[in-house]
Structure 1
Amino acid sequence: MTPSRPPRRSLVTGANRGLGLEFVRQLLAHGDHVVATCRHPGRANALNQLVGEHPGRLHVLPLDVGDPKSHAELARELPLVMDGIDLLVNNAGVLHSGERFGHVPPANLDDSLRTNASGPFLLTQALAERLVDGATVANLSSVLGSIASVGGFHTPSYAMSKAAQNMATALLATAMRERGIAVVALHPGWVQTDMGGSGAQITPDASVRGLIKVIDGLGIDDTGKFFDYRGQPVPW
């Protein structure tokens, strides 16, 4: 892949597998300097292999997106490897499958809201000083978080947490607009990952290629909006 834009300083959460790992691969191919975060860097074999292939351009740091203490630690460590953030990809998330009405465990809701909604919001807040003016914050959302698109009782803890994350996107967009920072929600499609399952429709490669194209085309007028990986608007 040939770089079609100047290299960026990018940070990707949940980068040890699935869409996060694919984001890291493609951003590196674009020439970016990437910080990849995950809960257990020592176990992230694919990421650590990429570190060897891209010396000096990829750093792996620990982050538990659901733990504010971990956010603060990342904010402290970041300047040692990167002098600012041009792109923050809030990708880390959790989906509890098999939920049925009347049997949704409270722990599922708590975990989903902490990881998928308050986690990205608080992390973005913690890293706000590291984001350069004119940066982009891309929150990986889902059409399942679209209230207008509800078609049945599906993955309620995930859907509710993604709807809450969408509100966080809208609020962050208003808070950071004066610095020229665009904050958007992105639906990656139904992707063939551990979370998406084997019946999913598109590959991580195709999804992330589309998402990066959308990100590259964003301007401040797009802040606070919700797009899919093809650049089409998604209803809230």
Structure 2
Amino acid sequence: MKGHCVVTGANRGIGLSFVRQLLERGEHVIASCRQPGKAVALNTLTGEFPGRLHVLPLDVANEKSRAELVRELPLVLGKDGRIDLLINNAGVLHSGERFGHVDAAILEDSFRINAIGPFMLGQALAPLLADGARIANLGSVMGSIARCSEFRSPSYCSSKAAQNMLTVELAHALRARGIVVLALHPGWVQTEMGGDSATVAIDDSARGLLQVIDTSTIEDSGHFLDWLGKPLPW
């Protein structure tokens, strides 16, 4: 029997590709996004994979929205169902930031969505995780302090660096249960966020990331890896 997977930010880009590829290999998927009614491509998949895809609303930055998802999940999972994989994919990049004009509200929004949201969701879903489950936090090499060589997108970079630290903290908190928690860089992907010059196809990135997740062990927990499994500097 295949497992249950939760994917956030599932309405487009890498999130949508994760959902499709997980369904194609036989998993049961709970896909979340802020406005399920407008997620046309995602809702189309429910007809292609009857009974194995549930689409639920989630604003990862909103405490009430996270709590509502936690309340609804047991109804989807069934009496003894557990989550085998949580992919925290939802994120935001505020473009056009210039030094001298960086807005505190933009910084706060980035931290709520990119760092605080994934950690709080992982903490809230911990009782529903199977022992030996996987949590994949989709980060970015832009969150690497060691790789920072210019002033660029400070709200995104700093919030992804914070996400990395919270990934490590979550890994320590769940290690005793054999739960692997990873910080993963998807590459420069051809998404709306990645832009026209990006070099990695969406499906290739999702496929590579799933391979990294599937082959990870408890010794990998708390590590920062790219979509090919290569370690990245903090």
- TM-score past 0.5 threshold: yes
How far the C-alpha of 1:221 sits from its partner, in A, is 0.7
Out of 90, 95, 120, the position equivalent to 1:97 is 95
What is the identity, as a one-letter code, of the residue corresponding to 2:8? T
Name stretches of at least 5 consecutive residues in structure 1 with no aligned partner.
Answer: 1-5
Counterpart of 2:76 in structure 1 is 81
| CA distance in 2 between partners of 1:8 and 1:145 (Å) | 31
What is the identity, as a one-letter code, of the residue corresponding to 1:116? N
Q: Displaced runs of 4+ in structure 1, greater than 3 A?
A: none
| CA distance in 1 between partners of 2:118 and 2:165 (Å) | 11
How far the C-alpha of 1:22 sits from its partner, in A, is 0.6
Question: Alignment partner of 1:16: what SS?
Answer: coil
Counterpart of 1:44 in structure 2 is 39
| CA distance in 2 between partners of 1:103 and 1:192 (Å) | 28
How far the C-alpha of 1:104 sits from its partner, in A, is 1.0
Matched, 1:21 2:19: no
Counterpart of 1:69 in structure 2 is 64
| CA distance in 1 between partners of 2:109 and 2:215 (Å) | 33
Counterpart of 1:131 in structure 2 is 129
What is the identity, as a one-letter code, of the residue corresponding to 2:127? E
Counterpart of 1:162 in structure 2 is 160
Q: Deviations over 1:12-47 (max 9, x none)?
A: 000001110010011111111000000011110001
| CA distance in 2 between partners of 1:103 and 1:205 (Å) | 36
| CA distance in 1 between partners of 2:95 and 2:3 (Å) | 36
Matched, 1:9 2:4: yes
| CA distance in 2 between partners of 1:7 and 1:209 (Å) | 18
What is the identity, as a one-letter code, of the residue corresponding to 1:110? E
Calculate the TM-score normalised by the size of structure 1.
0.97
How far the C-alpha of 1:216 sits from its partner, in A, is 0.6
Question: Alignment partner of 1:197: what SS?
Answer: coil
How many residues align structurally? Answer: 231
How far the C-alpha of 1:7 sits from its partner, in A, is 2.4
Q: Deviations over 1:32-86 (max 9, x none)?
A: 1000000011110001000010000000000000011111110110011112100
| CA distance in 2 between partners of 1:107 and 1:200 (Å) | 28
| CA distance in 2 between partners of 1:137 and 1:91 (Å) | 11
Q: Check the 8 A contact 1:10/1:34 in 2, yes or no.
A: yes
Out of 50, 53, 57, the position equivalent to 2:52 is 57
Out of 6, 14, 25, the position equivalent to 1:30 is 25
Out of 141, 144, 154, the position equivalent to 2:142 is 144
Calculate the TM-score normalised by the size of structure 2.
0.97
Name stretches of at least 5 consecutive residues in structure 2 with no aligned partner.
Answer: none
How far the C-alpha of 1:182 sits from its partner, in A, is 0.5
| CA distance in 2 between partners of 1:187 and 1:92 (Å) | 13
Out of 167, 184, 196, the position equivalent to 2:194 is 196
Q: Check the 8 A contact 1:180/1:220 in 2, yes or no.
A: yes
Identity %: 65
Counterpart of 1:231 in structure 2 is 229
